[in-house]
Amino acid sequence: MDRNGAAVAGRFRGWRYGLLLVPLLFLLLFFFYPLASILIVSLAPEGRLDLSSFAELVSSSYYLNTLWFTIWQATLSTLLTLALALPASYVVARYQFPGKSLLLSLATLPFVLPTVVVAAAFMALVGPRGLLNEWLMMAFDLDTPPIQLVRTLPLILIVHVFYNYSLALRMISSFWATQSIRMEEAARVLGAHGWRLWWHIRLPMLRPAILAAAILVFSFTFTSFGVILILGGLQFATLEVEIYRQAISLFNLPMAAALSLVQIGAMFLMLVLYTRLQRQTVVDLQSARTVARPPQTTRQRLLVAVNLIIMIVLLFAPLLALVARAFSSPDGLTTRYFELLSSNPRGSVLFVPPLEAVGNSLRFALATTVLSVVLGVIAAYLLSGRRSLLTAWLDPLFMLPLATSAVTLGFGYIIAPLFVSTGLRVSPLLIPIAHTLVAMPFVVRSVLPALRGIPRSLREAARVLGASPGQVWRLIDVPLISRSLIVGATFAFTVSMGEFGASLFIARPDTPTMPVVIFRLLGQPGASNYGQALAMSVLLMVVCAVSFIVIERTRTLGTSEF
């Protein structure tokens, strides 16, 4: 490279690393600063360090039992999820069948639905007045509902699998679809069939993807909050639920902070392992279409059919029950509950019609999408550079907000001195900011594989020919990552529409989001309020379904990490 090319390359590096500070500053101001504020108030209430809460944490059997329950329920949830997702991943990766693209699109829907929607869906299906209990009572002339799953551990595990099944399915099948089948064919020629083929060939080949999916599923179930609180109750308290109880019910901020630190530390270690495993999921560049073929034999058709039945029953039965309940009343089919969403029956000036929450959520989601895409793309460029100790630690750092207690961050936003003095604490702008913290990791994981797949020689050739950094990005990078950008943006939009935990703490009464309104309606007595909650849940579910159809039509199988 001549002197002119070296100068251009130097300017490019300077421009690049200057921009890369932006997402780090965003995390520092809106993630670490609120977190530090509440930890200072909690752990140094008198201006000096007080670690008595940590001493109580390690000496109390109650908190140790809470930690143990959190670990083993997350482990069991992960094992159940992988046991169902692994054979389905084989079917998705290796076979073509009608409706496959649409099915994969809709299968991801549960992952982004807010907890209140899922709670309403499972109550509509297996609750005391759910569809299954009503049918069984009518069929067998029973006086009491035969299915009693509410407030039980089995229902918690079922819902955890419902949430995370599609995540594991997508991650494993995306990796599997791009692996060469030559090794399997050679093993079959040498006599490896059945369990030998799985144990000696497939599982070792898939180990990085399986472990990465397991870590991510474990992380989400380890920090489970809404599922436990709404469907399980305080008797099944996880660390996240206990943080909520200590902070809200008991106002014991030192203990809440101690529990938060334990959770954040554990999750950061898990995310470090996850990001390192993701680097091992190097794919064969052959097309997924050359691997997937229509099932030929009766055994193959049966395998596809059984897995599709399991997928449909697990993922769609609760959602179909939700839709059925939203359009039904004691008098038959009705759209009354949807019509009530725009009404103000009490005529109160302080009342916000539920339908206005749809507009609020759309505005917040659009703002979140813009922020997440800009910050996520910049962060992805930082992580796509040469691997170093810095990028090895920054990678899990950008995902850390996903594993942080919404309760802790919510209190941080409320008490942070800078947010109080500037009025940001009561500003609607805080909602898209909080949503961006959750959505940005999805953008990073969508764009990062595409950036890593761009040959370095293309950029170097353009710089040598005199292209400016902006021209290199516009003419080379953007066309090659455009599909991943659309996927990341759609993820951000959908995550924002369904975000519940942070919105519950910082949403103003006059600007509620759809999940917050659903939660409020579910907490109010009366069939009308319950019906409106179901109707709003259906609207939110439709928005998320359309978004994931866009994702599935846009993304390339095997080139995203979610």
Cβ(457)–Cβ(467) below 8 Å: no
- Confirm whether 1-50+332-562 and 63-326 share one CATH topology: yes
What is the third-level CATH fold of 1-50+332-562?
Answer: MetI-like fold (1.10.3720)
Alpha-carbon gap, residue 205 to 170, rounded angstroms: 17
pTM score, whole prediction: 0.78
Distance of CA 501 to the CA centre of its chain: 12
Cβ(550)–Cβ(475) below 8 Å: no
Sequence spans of domains, the chain = 1-50+332-562, 63-326
**Residues comprising the chain, all counted:** 562
Distance from the first to the final alpha carbon of the chain: 38
**Which residue in 434, 398, 397 sits closest to 414, CA to CA?**
434
From first to last of its 562 residues, what are the pLDDT tens digits of the chain?
Answer: 455 555 555 555 555 566 778 898 999 999 999 888 877 877 787 777 888 888 888 899 999 999 999 999 999 999 999 999 999 988 888 888 888 877 877 787 787 777 778 888 888 898 887 889 888 988 888 888 898 888 889 999 999 999 899 889 988 887 777 766 666 666 666 566 666 666 666 777 788 888 989 998 998 899 887 788 778 777 788 888 888 788 777 878 788 888 888 888 888 888 788 877 766 654 443 444 456 778 888 888 999 999 999 988 988 899 999 899 889 887 778 888 888 887 765 544 445 677 788 889 999 999 999 999 999 998 888 887 666 666 777 777 887 787 676 666 777 787 788 887 888 877 888 899 999 998 898 899 888 888 877 877 777 787 777 777 677 777 787 888 888 888 888 889 988 888 877 787 787 777 888 888 888 887 777 778 888 888 888 888 888 778 767 766 666 544 454 5
What one-character-per-residue DSSP string does 383-433 give? Answer: HHSS--HHHHHHHHHHHGGGGS-HHHHHHHHHH-HHHHHHTGGGSTTHHHH
Classify domain 63-326 at the CATH class level: mainly alpha
Alpha-carbon gap, residue 98 to 243, rounded angstroms: 46
Alpha-carbon gap, residue 512 to 529, rounded angstroms: 16
